Chains A and B, each alone.
Chain A
Amino acid sequence: MNRRDSLRALVVGGLSAAVLVDACKTPAGKDAGTDTQTGADQDHPERMAEEKAFDKKLLQEPKFFTDHEFATITILGDIIIPKDEVSGSASDAKVADFIEFIVKDMPEHQVPMKGGLRWLDMQCLKRFEKTFKDCDATQQIAIVDEIAYPNKAKPNMKQGVAFFTLMRNLTITGFYTSEIGIKDIGYVGNRPNQWNGVPDDVLKQYNLAYTEKELKECISFDTKS
């Protein structure tokens, strides 16, 4: 939700918008220096100096994944989260870029990811004489089917299962925390509003109702205005 939407929601909600308008103002001047009082760069007043330096260092590090590995992650990501009638794919949501960042931020993922990708390529080379990326779609799905189902995978595929499970988790996390993914999953919060309780139709669906005590004591907002 962008700033204009949040302001509209505020006005619709009947709350005073002035304070939030002020609060959402971004200080002008992209090259503004560090404010020694807050330790925060004026571009990112919510970050303290130490963490800005840390993030900058991470972003300046050389790429962790080779182009080949990155392309493989992109293909796998789109197998895990493809485009459907509701939303786009993992690559539409730039999940591979997220994974490239997060393995630098969380080094514990580095060896399982790099090693898992190589494990996958070695399986494909033995079986199809090509790396995963260069296999055709049928071949790719054939190998994925052997590592995507933990409970029925063969014992000699367990390392592949561990890799694919991590890849699935990172892809899901990366996708559903993107703008496309949030819309897909239907998270409709993170905006100013007036909480007036569970909607009536939902209460009815679960055969519930607020008690008289709750209705009397709790804050209510006039929804008609």
Chain B
Amino acid sequence: MDDIQIKKQSKKYDAIIVGSGAGGGMAAYVLANAGLKVCLLEAGPNFDPRENSSQLKNPWDSPRRGASTKYRPFGDFDGCYWGWEIDGEPYTQAPGSNWEWWRARMVGGRTNHWGRISLRFGPNDFKRKSIDGLGDDWPIGYDDIKPYYDKIDQLIGVFGTNEGLYNDPDGYFLPPPKPRLHEIMLQRSNAKINIPVIPSRLSILTKKINNSREACFFCAQCGRSCKVYGDFSSSSVLVKPALATGNVDLVTNAMAREVLTNRDGLASGVSYVSKDDMQEYQVYGRTVILAASACESARLLLNSKSERFPNGLANSSNAVGKYLHDSTGADMGGILPQLFDRKRYNEDGVGGMHVYTPWWLDNKKDKLDFPRGYHIEYGGGFDMPLYGFNWGIEKLNGSYKVKGKQKEAGGYGTSLKEDNRFFFGASIGMAGRGEGIAREDSYCEIDPEVVDKYGIPVLRFHTQWTDYEIKQAKHMKETFKEILTNMGAVITWGDDDGEHNKWGLHNPGNIIHEAGTVRMGNDARKSPLNKYSQSHDVKNLFCVDGGQFVSQADKNITWTILALSMRASEYIVDQLKKQNI
């Protein structure tokens, strides 16, 4: 090996931000626009959707026809670099633990490919312990965060409708797209069983909101990232304008190793290894802001040990890494015989569902045997054929009359071509995404024996579901079955679940909403952060990603990460001006 030297950057920044996803991108945007000098560290390469997206590529442009690889677990055209595994960057599990850890390595992080589901937490979501006695209340309430949701709605753009629902608050919405055919059918048939279906709330521009981004042109490919910036990703909407201020130095392929501290016990900077030259670097700043993802931020703190901070930085509470939780998830799908042999037209629409079901029950009044709720996401219709298209047609084409004829299952030839046309566009599917309980005994810690290829100790996970989440998944499955049956669908998958497999509940981590590992709270003995996302122990250290969440609601967490990061960043600007930090 060549000589290794630690290269120390002489420039002193106002802030060092680790990670460029929703939390880090927002922090960079706010700080840079306030005139502060920022160093933005990103563990992956640069990424600009305009240059690097696979948008509008055809299936045959991929030799594997869009199938997934370990580099792109969501498929060859997906907008995210890496996912469930990264070469040279392992993580480990304690016996019985089954955490699935998604890691994006690129500017913008996983916001380049996310579902754009942009839901505000409601008033109840910050006070769950007061409602059901489980977990903890947040140190803030809806009124504290509402002004930031309002600003983000208008800065970034989100479509939806004001429905006046108490725990699914109204916002500043662009008009939603009209429902697709199967979505209208869902709406009409769910009304009969009292399950609401309302326009979804996605951060996609159905109308142009400024001159740096174009409106959506309805290709359904938000997951690939958008070349015209018609949807929200941190790379295009936050990092790019932050860089344009001239106040941000972006360092890509920079894998953070430790947060550095000075004699006063304050954060002084960050050390990182460059993946480009494998050299060690140190950058210094007046503040350090972690936004590396809930688990990576916890890992970084736990690895930042010193004599003064023997169990990791900002960890006098011993809570760093604990309370790790993900959304619950379970799915089911089938086919709608009324849609066989459909007339063809372009129903791509936006990337994702045009309608969804917010949580509609009351655990107490409706006498449910599980806490918290879930929302339902829907899919179906004329999707672009990709690898796996009509796989298993032998299970379909003998079960229904095709053009009036009963056929033998399987087959070949012109008859089989007719079958493929007949069934196209008749699928329907749904997924529940709910709230699990954040528990102290669901956690990650540093594996005492294992390091990654950079010599950085890795995380070991200790996560398992409890009866709370399993019973919630059972309720999802029963609801999905009712919805599908009620609309005349034939269930083709997801109906064989039961006690034996936790009712099809996905493993924790699988829904990719990791949160809770660096949580906020008023009691410094129980929570690493205060209500401004600021470390109780180290006042110039902040964490603005999913780590700071006390609980994560039955809502996707990105909109709240953005709001909390904006709130923390404005606080940082204020505190730096007042020279309090």
Binding site for B on A (CB under 8 A): 1, 6, 10, 13, 15-16, 19-20, 22-24, 36-40, 45-46, 48-51, 54-55, 58-59, 79-82, 84, 86-87, 98, 101-102, 105-106, 144, 148-152, 161, 164-165, 168-169, 172-174, 176-179, 181-182, 184-199, 201-203, 205-206, 208, 210, 214, 217-220
Please determine whether A144 and B412 come into contact, CB atoms closer than 8 angstroms: yes
Please determine whether B51 and A193 come into contact, CB atoms closer than 8 angstroms: no
Please determine whether B410 and A149 come into contact, CB atoms closer than 8 angstroms: yes
The answer for the CA separation of A152 and B227 in the assembled complex, in Å, is 51
Please determine whether A190 and B58 come into contact, CB atoms closer than 8 angstroms: yes
Please determine whether A193 and B389 come into contact, CB atoms closer than 8 angstroms: no
How big is the B interface, by class?
Answer: 35 or more
Choose from B81, B181, B417 the contact partner of A184 (Cβ within 8 Å).
Answer: B417
Choose from B69, B177, B382 the contact partner of A189 (Cβ within 8 Å).
Answer: B382
B471 on the interface (CB 8 Å rule)?
no
Which B residues between 197 and 217 are near A, CB-CB below 8 angstroms? 199, 206-207, 214-215, 217
Please determine whether A198 and B58 come into contact, CB atoms closer than 8 angstroms: no
Please determine whether B188 and A189 come into contact, CB atoms closer than 8 angstroms: no
The 6 closest A-B pairs by CB, nearest first: A197-B178, A23-B227, A177-B59, A189-B348, A192-B217, A186-B344
Q: Which residues of B contact A6 (CB under 8 A)?
A: 56
Choose from A48, A80, A186, A194 the contact partner of B45 (Cβ within 8 Å).
Answer: A48
The answer for the CA separation of A168 and B409 in the assembled complex, in Å, is 12
Choose from B54, B60, B228, B398 the contact partner of A178 (Cβ within 8 Å).
Answer: B60
Known: A168-B394, A173-B391. A214 touches B179 (CB 8 A): yes
Choose from B54, B159, B221, B420 the contact partner of A172 (Cβ within 8 Å).
Answer: B420
The answer for the CA separation of A41 and B84 in the assembled complex, in Å, is 24
Choose from A36, A168, A190, A197 the contact partner of B384 (Cβ within 8 Å).
Answer: A190
Q: Which residues of B contact A177 (CB under 8 A)?
A: 59-60, 65-66, 385-387, 389
Please determine whether A173 and B65 come into contact, CB atoms closer than 8 angstroms: yes
- Min CB distance B256 to A, Å, is 19
Interface centre among A22, A148, A201 (most CB of B within 10 A): A148
Please determine whether A151 and B348 come into contact, CB atoms closer than 8 angstroms: no
Please determine whether B81 and A48 come into contact, CB atoms closer than 8 angstroms: yes
Please determine whether A191 and B184 come into contact, CB atoms closer than 8 angstroms: no
B551 on the interface (CB 8 Å rule)?
no
Residue of A nearest to B51 (CB): A45
B449 on the interface (CB 8 Å rule)?
no
The answer for the CA separation of A169 and B67 in the assembled complex, in Å, is 14
B176 on the interface (CB 8 Å rule)?
yes
B96 on the interface (CB 8 Å rule)?
no
